[in-house]
Amino acid sequence: MLVTASLLASQPFRSRIAPTPSGFLHRGNAFSFVLTWLLTRSSAGGSLHLRIDDLDAERIRPEYIQDIFETLEWLGVDYDSGPRSVQDFDKNWSQKRRVEAYTQALARLREQRLVFACECSRRTVGAFTEQGLYTGICRTKELLFDEPNYAWRFRSESSAESHLVDIVQGEMRLHSTDVIGDAVLRRKDGIPAYHIASLVDDELDGINFIVRGQDLLPSSVVQQALARHLGYEHFLRVAFLHHPLLLDGASQKLSKSKGADSLKAMRENAQTPHEIYQSVALFCGISAPIRTITELLNAFASKV
Ligand SMILES: [Zn+2]
Q: Return the pLDDT at 210.
A: 98
Q: What is residue 220's predicted lDDT score, i.e. its pLDDT? A: 98
pLDDT at 6: 75
How large a percentage of the chain has pLDDT more than 90?
85
What is the arrangement of strands in the sheet containing 239-243, beginning at the earlier edge strand? Answer: 47-50, 14-17, 209-213, 239-243, 162-166, 170-174
Residue 173 confidence (pLDDT): 97
The per-residue pLDDT string of the chain (304 residues; one tens digit each, 9 = 90 and over) reads 557 777 777 789 999 999 999 999 999 999 999 999 999 999 999 999 999 999 988 889 999 999 999 999 999 999 999 999 999 999 999 999 999 999 999 999 999 999 999 999 989 999 999 888 999 999 999 999 999 999 999 999 988 999 999 998 999 999 999 999 999 999 999 999 999 999 999 999 999 999 999 999 999 999 999 999 999 999 999 999 999 987 655 555 665 555 667 999 999 999 999 999 999 999 999 999 999 999 999 999 998 8
Closest CA to 239 of 145, 186, 172, 287: 172
Q: Phi and psi dihedrals of 263, rounded to 5?
A: -65, -30
Residue type, 138: C
Domains by residue range for the chain, with CATH: 5-303 (3.40.50.620)
Q: How far is the CA of 197 from the centre of ligand 1 (A)?
A: 22
Q: How far is the CA of 196 from the centre of ligand 1 (A)?
A: 19
Cβ neighbourhood burial of 225 (10 Å; 0-12, 13-18, 19+): buried
Instruction: Provide the Cα torsion 295, 298, 303, 304; round to 10°.
Output: 140
Rounded CA gap, 134 and 122, in Å? 10
Three-state DSSP class for residue 164: strand
Amino acid at 15: S
Q: Rounded to whole angstroms, how far apart are CA atoms 207 and 170?
A: 19
CB 33 within 8 A of CB 71: yes
**Distance between first and last Cα of the chain:** 10
CA 190 to centroid of ligand 1, rounded, Å: 16
| Dist. CA 38 → ligand 1 center (Å) | 42
The pLDDT assigned to 229 comes to 97
Query: Residue 141 Cα, ligand 1 centroid: separation in angstroms?
Result: 9
Is residue 66 helix, strand or coil?
A: helix
Name the packing angle between helices 274-283 and 27-41 (round to 10°).
60
Q: Which whole-number Å values give the CA distances from 154 to 91, 159, 219, 223, in the listed order?
A: 33, 9, 12, 11
| DSSP sequence for 68-79 | HHHHHHHHT---
